[in-house]
Structure 1
Amino acid sequence: MLDKNKVSLLGLAMRARKIATGDILLKSIRSQKAYFVLIAQDASENTKKRYMDKCTYYHVDYQIDGTIEEISRAIGKDNRVAIGILDKGFANKIKSK
């Protein structure tokens, strides 16, 4: 369950265009432009493993928190399984919550 502070920070990051999803997220992890990745708890095991392995290999912090619906609603998009934060300040704030 995402707390209110995290949800509002994700919304702010989205409006600031500092969030990546999907293929762009994978490219951001590879190029180490993503500082933090948030993965939904109810994502498939395969999907979780793909993002976790990618983050571990490229030394990007990640966290499994919230559901697909919560994450999607927080950024105003549909069916987002994982999102990457592309700003160090936002990433540190979200990690600390």
Structure 2
Amino acid sequence: MSKQKALNMLGLAMRAGKLVTGEEMTIQKIRTQKVKLALVAEDAGENTQKKVKDKSTFYQVPFVNCFRSEEISQAIGKSRMVIGVLDNGFANKIKELISS
């Protein structure tokens, strides 16, 4: 249930303009330390997961890969594998919902 609530928060963050989507855009925002939480689909390619995870680790950005690409795409209304949350409030709430 909390997983669905986390996906709903992603949709809300998307409508609020607090997400960056796509691998390159997310990595670019991680480098400038604007991303507060990086999400990668668990069914994304190995290279994509490693690249985003390594960048997240280096820049000390929390990293999550517990959703499938269909779930992420449905939540935000776009077909994406990589998402960066730009707002602390949304990032903290999503992390809280995922861990509960």
Q: Report the TM-score when normalising by structure 1.
A: 0.94
Question: Which residue number corresponds to residue 27 of structure 1?
Answer: 28
| Count of residue pairs the alignment pairs up | 96
C-alpha displacement of 1:63: 0.8
List alignment gaps of at least 5 residues for structure 1: none
User: Runs in 1 of length 4+ with deviation above 4 angstroms?
Assistant: none
1:33-60 Cα offsets, whole Å, 9 max, x none, are 0000111110111110000001001110
Q: In the alignment, does 2:85 pair up with 1:93?
A: no
For the residue of structure 1 that corresponds to 2:60, the secondary structure is: coil
Q: In the alignment, does 2:51 pair up with 1:62?
A: no
Question: Which residue number corresponds to residue 16 of structure 1?
Answer: 16
Question: Which residue number corresponds to residue 37 of structure 2?
Answer: 36
1: distance between equivalents of 2:21 and 2:7?
16
User: Equivalent residues in 2 for 1:63-82 (5 A)?
Assistant: 63-78=64-79, 80-82=80-82
List alignment gaps of at least 5 residues for structure 2: none
For the residue of structure 2 that corresponds to 1:3, the secondary structure is: helix
Q: Report the TM-score when normalising by structure 2.
A: 0.91
